[in-house]
A and B are shown apart, each in its own frame.
Chain A
Amino acid sequence: MVQVMFVQTDTELILAAREGDGSAFAELIRPQYRVAFRVAYGLLHNADEAEDAVQEAAFKAWLRLGNLREGASLRPWFLAIVANQCRTVSRSRWWSVVKAESPEGEGRSVDLAAAVDLRRALLRLGHDERLIVVLRYYLDMPFEEIATTLGISTKAARTRVERAVRRLRPIIQIQGAAF
């Protein structure tokens, strides 16, 4: 039996999604799902909240699909919506104690302590600074893509990364001394 696969292009998927086809929009963002989840997890430090935030952001992105400019890259546009959704989640819980989940590999107590310290240090950064650290050092994004995602210049992206790193430096240095 011959199977015929229809592979829709992004343009076709966008058109279908604009007509109200949720599956088409899901297909469109499938390549971005993992990176979107990692942005959300990097900002919220909670897998359940990160999954929920990406889902909520996906709905919002679908509704705003008309705002995506012709020829513009989907990824930075979608990641910006995910980041904004995470900001909303953080706002709604800003007074609560953030119970960050333990990273995997709990057998390594020194590594675990260092990881927990770093995550606490990240949580003490403001949303925008944490976002820029996540984009740069967790997603390994070049400055140009960070700039596109945040809607700022490449120079401003570099400056903001440097500034966030300065805030993290004490904790990094102390961990370095422990190894």
Chain B
Amino acid sequence: MKPNSVDRIIKTDILTIGGGGASTAAAVAAYERGTKVTLVSKGKVGRSGNTIMIGGGFGIDGESAYKVCGEKGVDVGFTKDALFKRTVQNSFYLSDQNIVQQFVSEAPKAVKRCLDWARNAKQIFKLNPPAPVWRTSGRSFGRTLMQAIKENPGIEVIEDVIVVDLLINNCTVVGALGVDVYTGDVILFEAKAVVLATGGYQPYSFKNTISDMTGDGIAMALRAGAKIADMEFLLFIPTILEPRNIRGSILPYLMTFAPSFKSVFKVVDCRGDEIVIPKEFYKIPKANKLNKLLYSYFWGKAIFEGIKEYGNCIFYDFSHCSDREIEDAFEGLKQEYSTWHKNGWYNKVNLEELKQIIMKDRRLKVGLGCEYSMGGVVVDEKMSAGIPGLFAAGEVTSGLFGAFRGGDGLTEMLAQGFRAGMSAAEYINGISNTDVDYTQIDSIIHRIMEPFNRNEGVSPYKVQRNIENAADRGFNFFRDEEGLQSTLKELERIKVEELPRMSLASKSRRYNFEWITSILVKNLITCNEAGTKAALMRKESRGCHMRTDYPEVNNEEWLVKIEAQMEGSQIELTTRKPIVTKMPLPEGKHKSILDYVLWTL
């Protein structure tokens, strides 16, 4: 029986949701185990999602890079144990160590599969020994994923469909409901298992990620009854603010470790004062991701102190440089990225044009943009999300990186994606037919259609801006009680005054992105609220959670994960100790996150 309001029904064994690496890996793994697999993606596979926004690369332990992936000259002394230790330390000990164990042991084979696809797609993944890290670009990685789909033609791919909610029956996930962005058709997916691979959330107005990181998977899982955790931890990197046509480019982060840019520019705040990172941190190599934390701390602090006056803004200052130094720096950058980009370009940045601007202005306007959320769905080492039929992989999960991702998101999505696909295939073995609950379907459709029925109200576009502005206001890289309370108050206001009054300018369902936005903002506000509440609760600083009013890293009281779950219509928080398998949790306190970082070196 098909409810009238459903336009299409797709029946499958396993539904993977997402268009990036985690979803593709899960789909391939499940398909190889003889199941019928449908991959549904918000955009096009390999041309959507945060996977294509990557600027760096991905790594594993040195021994496996040699033994499993056949790379010569790599540092085999960087063992699995060393990778495990580094991941846990960088997480400020908030990693669930069973998840780290899964990552360390299953990543090599997953990465090998990815390297094979890349080779078949004629994409260059470059490893510069001795570091067991492959460098690539977003576009190259996207093409690699398209190759994976091409090599597994039995995987059914449904693109440009936004999944609205998971379907539950008898406390089991039995599918999902989606909307085709182009036609506005409502699609019912009936599945024996679902893999969420939808990425993280990004609540701010300033973006360097894909445009709609609204945390759909995290919010859907929460509504379905799953637990989410670590939502207060968001990772920032320096991002271009101006000129406007290249706003959002992560080139300023790449400049911090590009060999040709070494020490060329100084970083100054909006008052013109240089921001100096103390010498004791110089021993951290420039390409080490720990530097992201230092930039958030030192540059973020300078921004935070003047944020009301100047906004999220600093400058890369080249005033002391000769023309020659600037030219050489850009020449190096052009050469470095010509492997993956049109010569003289980095994605949409014309490097020659940017060089001319910098030669003239002697500065580049930069802000801190959020690139990754450490928080997400709580999973076990099989990638099960704690509800029968529901699995999750990649950035949508929590558990691997804790308070700070000092490792590679690409490796995470591959290692977890394959495992989630395998687990889902195993799970459906014992499942015969599943039934969907039509009452739930009717109620979801009723909910998403409501904005069409209102003749006046507030535009979902405005609601999205208001949610983002609320996050900008007090839930930033640095936080304090007052700011967080003000964010939470504004989110509450939006929930009461705006969400129930959303209306649409066009009543047509055809590519009605205002309507799609009305669906997505509910996910964004849920993630934003969970993150802000957790940030208020955590009265200490840890990893990417930096509180001006509680600067200490306080292991005595706060070496716990904050988990969120729905209680009725409310998000309720609880705490628990991280899962320990190997490295005992440290005790005591550190004066600041800087002290903690120095302690780990």
Q: Do A and B bind each other?
A: no
A contact residues vs B (CB 8 Å cutoff): none
B contact residues vs A (CB 8 Å cutoff): none
